[in-house]
Amino acid sequence: MVLVGPSGCGKTTSLRMINRLVEPTSGRVLLDGRDVQQGSAARLRRGIGYVIQQTGLFPHRTVEDNIATVPVLDGWSRARARGRARELLDLVGLDAGLAKRYPHQLSGGQQQRVGVARALAADPPVLLMDEPFSAVDPIVRASLQDELLRLQQKLGKTVVLVTHDIEEAIKVGDLVALFRPHGRIAQVDAPEQLLAAPADDYVSGFVGFDRGIRRLSFLGTDGLALDSQPVLPADATVSKAAATGLPWVLVTDGDGRPRGWVPAHRLSAAPGLTPLGEVPTDGFGHTFTAGVDTLRAALDAAVLSPAGEAVAVDGAGRVTGVLGYDQIRAAIQAAAELTADSAGDLAGDIAGGDSG
């Protein structure tokens, strides 16, 4: 679950109410149906993982002792806790050799991973993350986000993440709560719904321009009809290519991998019996893997292609066909109809009342 909103909207405060770093002035926070305010705060927090933007790693302890913090608090022997720490280092993708280093010797991205490892050490069912990736550069951030998704798939924990970056929210969230300034919630929905059906102008403004195209990253490319007519191997002759009557022809090599596009006018300029392989080709941009990549990737490939058609490949990189704008448009329309129906369903669920 991602809490997203502008600065000062209360998303961090809301997060910190879950582990009682902030005590609510009214209302209740229920964890597994139990009010978090009952019982000791320290005990509660040991059962909840907590990751913050600046990591807050203990500078006076080694990496492994940092990770072992909560297990040791829970009474584990130091040896056992350190063993667990090493497991976690592996889990978050860090080299075990870093265990005896100190935090200041690590890079920002490495420190963040240690922070996550520390939060997971006691295997808590819930993980709170407060802008965990905002302090690292975009490349590291993207890889950390991917790691998080991978971890989430593997561990299946309940994660509540706070961010101010709507793109991050859309990328990692299963459910996104968008905050207005001053603490009210504007919309709680699956990320795709936020893009497809924003509740009001505030939401659509926050979600941003070109949300239509971004929404395409939630649509798949399986089952789309690919056109194989323009695809010809390099040993086919120019006259055969010209006989298709198509404005562009895609040349593949002996393995079926794409070489490039050839426009019709270049075909007519060459002698008929020349193999296509000897005709200069134009680049094809990038490919997309049908059934795996999203419609957005397909659209992007089509835009980059000189022929206006996206090159579809299979898992091994062999061309399976091409996709033109018409087919893409049809796919988008079909998805829109489907979403309009399900948007109504989801809205009904939310109106029916849940705590999220």
Partner 1 sequence: MSFFSWAWDWITTSANWHGNGTGLDGSIPQQLLAHLGYSALPLLIAAAIAVPLGVFTGHTGRGAALIASLANVWRAIPTLGLLVLLVVLLGFSPLTWLLPLVALAIPPILVNTHEGVAGVDRDVRDAAKGAGMTAWQQVLHVEVPIALPLILVGLRTGAVFVVATATIAAYIGLGGLGRFIIDGLARNEYGPVAGGALLVVILAVLVLALFALISRLVVPAGLRKQERSE
Residues that bind partner 1 (CB under 8 A): 19, 21, 40, 42-48, 50, 52-62, 69-70, 73, 102-104, 115, 118, 128
Least Cβ distance, residue 117 to partner 1 (angstroms): 12
Token pair listed for 27? 């209302």
Query: Closest separation between CB of residue 118 and partner 1, Å?
Result: 7
Q: Closer CB to partner 1, residue 12 or residue 187?
A: 12
Sorted by sequence, the CB contacts under 8 Å of residue 354 that are 6+ apart come out as none
Cα-flanking dihedrals φ and ψ of residue 216, to 5°? -60, -20
**CB 81, min distance to partner 1, A:** 13
Measure the CA–CA gap between 53 and 108, rounded to whole angstroms: 10
Residue number, 53 or 287, with CB nearest to partner 1: 53
Nearer to partner 1, 14 or 62 (CB): 62
Q: Minimal distance in Å, beta carbon 63 to partner 1?
A: 10
d(CA 220, CA 66): 42
CA 255 vs CA 92, 259, 274, 313, 320: distances in Å: 38, 11, 20, 12, 12
In terms of C-beta density within 10 A (0-12 exposed, 13-18 middle, 19 or more buried), how is residue 84 classed?
Answer: buried
Instruction: Give the H or E element holding residue 178.
Output: strand 176-179
Question: From CA 79, how far away is CA 85, in angstroms rounded?
Answer: 10
From the CB of 95, what's the least distance to partner 1, in Å?
A: 18
* 54 or 294: CB nearest partner 1: 54
* Shortest distance (Å) from residue 322 CB to partner 1: 52
Residues with Cβ < 8 Å from 180, sequence gap 6 or more?
5, 9, 186, 202
Q: CB-wise, 15 or 311, nearer to partner 1?
A: 15
| Residue number, 28 or 43, with CB nearest to partner 1 | 43
Single-letter amino acid code for the residue at 351: A
> How far is C-alpha 47 from the chain's CA centre?
27
CB of 20 to partner 1, least distance (A): 9
Task: Return the closest-CA partner of residue 197 out of 2, 349, 342.
Answer: 342
Nearer CB in complex with partner 1: 109/115: 115
Residue 335, classed as helix, strand or coil, is helix
Q: Is 261 helix (H, G, I), strand (E, B) or coil?
A: strand
